[in-house]
Structure 1
């Protein structure tokens, strides 16, 4: 199924015979129509480096099923979580071989997953392995992400926060008792946080992309739960323009006041259920500048992920959250009635008037 949506255009309104005193004679009228913005944890991660490139070079059933989900919703801007980073190779192959080349623009970058810290972060007495990486992963780039766009991306203006140190967040939940003397070396983002500016017919839309760590797979110290909370807080503080933040180029501060944005990604935090620290996702949802369209599917409400029953069960963890200056036309969780899905997450979209 395809969706044909005309994009915003600017028309010069000319009136033949109008006098120069007519205030409408030389007026430029901006005519806009919605664009669809989506997030999808497509589970396009593989157990070894390079396998995703190999899979996408040929015909892979799971990748084809994920592409079919994307095609059924036809987003204009799309964040894909759990897409192994391999430079531009896998990104281009997925677009060309599976998405019919619909996305002439994309952004991807290195992430912390699988990047060896050289420290014993999991405290097992040994160095190396996925638990000692800056973000849990078998190899550098596993569980990465990519932004696809039908509109130009201002790549020179992208901001990334891969290297921001957890200790530099004021009043953070950093569990120093657990990490001990290596606490000050820890990076906060388990993958990365990106601000990707997209030019939508002369208007800049900031795509704020992230994928915080699951608040699970730890012990009573709740190190992953606390990291998930503070990764979400990084996004909230960025939207609020916090001065303490610095990006990977050393530029300080958050989002410019009044900028249009949409926050996207698998946040691994449900507003009510699951293992996340209480109030974690509310840090964003409760911001005055953030709209929550609360998209739904017919049979599963606002839930976006189909996890193991009975615990944690279905959860709402994937979000499309636009700024309050944008008009939300419609939104949905795409949860088709089928026995098998290519991912344990569902695609979420919102139609926005830019």
Structure 2
């Protein structure tokens, strides 16, 4: 059995080494529930929404994917169980990483000023329990040692836009609403660093614009943390550069170092309601929101470093008659985004622009 596994691994590595494109993806599969342990229960029970999310990922066939909407648990049971569902769907991704996110992590303080402790708004990042709506990486390739920046305090980010906060709050308030990770994917041509994050929406606050400022700074964090090595910025920055609310300056600044392949979906719903007034190309949208509210937005991104050769990209948004469409609709209001990279470009001399 061991020799058989070794042969399969050797064939895979040889295929990658011969120049097969490396597919990097991000996706919010909606694998979050209202209490701890409920996601594990649903996965093991064969929940249709869970199976639909696995079907979408299997159809995209990524080599590595960042999931930005998956509940975290200390034993990794949910991630392991979902990886098994994905394997049963025909796309095994044996390497995985997840760490405790700031979402739902208690601060012991009354951050929202409602006179009570322990609410979802009193956590480091919004969450009804520790780990709700966390992040995870699944990969067909081995992963190297992860650098986890999730504990960085907001006030310690140089040039931060943090509004004036009570000293006790400022002393504990972390920057990441979910997490910031540098995850090396170990390819035969060298490591590819996934710079992963999922930010707070830049809304649901008051005139101090706390969420808008934090959303900006969660992206700005990477401006000082770009490695001198091939990288991909990816995740859910929760910001549309053309439509919706928020401060786009930090995301725009990242494009001095990264490239936007502008992945496009095959289908765009009828542009009615708020969508009719949008300035952005609807083919770039990655999430479905109420047409009476913000409308559909582009909030999920995969941005490779400049110098990496992109050979293809897309958003998994099939037309209603497509066989995959029911699974896409049933899984999540987000759409999977993928970018193909020529692995040979990982082995070329890398120079970060400064």
CA apart distance, 1:278 = 3.9
Does the aligned pair in 1 maintain the 2:58–2:86 contact within 8 Å?
no
Residues 269 and 280, structure 1, Cα contact 8 Å, conserved in 2: no
Aligned match of 2:244 in 270, 274, 299? 274
Question: Superposed, which structure 2 residues align to 1:182-331 within 5 Å?
Answer: 182-239=169-226, 255=227, 257=228, 259-284=229-254, 286-287=255-256, 289-298=257-266, 299=268, 300-331=282-313
1:103 and 2:93 equivalent? Answer: yes
Among candidates 107, 126, 139, match of residue 117 of structure 1: 107
1:24 match: none
The CA deviation at 1:228 is 0.4
Q: CA RMSD in A?
A: 1.8
Structure 2 residue aligned with 1:18: none
Task: Say if 2:134 is the partner of 1:147.
Answer: no
TM-score (norm. length: structure 1): 0.83
Instruction: Name the CA distance, whole Å, in 2 between partners of 1:153 and 1:96.
Output: 18
Contact 2:125 2:176 in 1 (8 A): yes
Candidates 318, 340, 347, aligned match of 1:351 = 340
Contact 2:107–2:172, Cα closer than 8 Å, also in 1: no
In the alignment, what sits opposite 2:4?
none
Name the SS of the counterpart of 1:281 in structure 2: helix
- Runs of at least 5 residues in structure 2 that lack an aligned partner in the other structure: 1-10, 269-281, 321-325, 344-354
Whole-angstrom CA distance in 1 between matches of 2:101 and 2:33? 15
- Partner of residue 42, structure 1: 29
SS of aligned partner of 1:314:
coil
Is residue 8–residue 33 contact of structure 1 (8 Å, CA) maintained in 2?
no
Residues 39, 78 of structure 1: 8 Å contact kept: yes
Over 3 Å counting, the alpha-carbon distance change for 1:10 and 1:275 in structure 2 is closer
Deviation at 1:313, TM superposition (A): 0.6
2:155 to 155, 162, 167: 167
Aligned to 2:79: 91
Larger strand percent:
1
Output one character per residue of 1:40-61: Cα deviation in whole Å (capped at 9) or x when no partner: 0111000000101111112101
Structure 1 gaps of 5+ residues are 1-5, 12-29, 240-254
Compute the displacement of 1:308 (Å).
Answer: 1.0
Matched residue SS, 2:283: coil
Larger relative contact order (Cα-Cα within 8 Å, sequence gap ≥ 6): 2
C-alpha deviation, 1:197, in angstroms: 0.6
The answer to which structure has the higher helix fraction is 2
Cα pair 1:274 1:315 within 8 Å, conserved? yes
Larger radius of gyration: 1
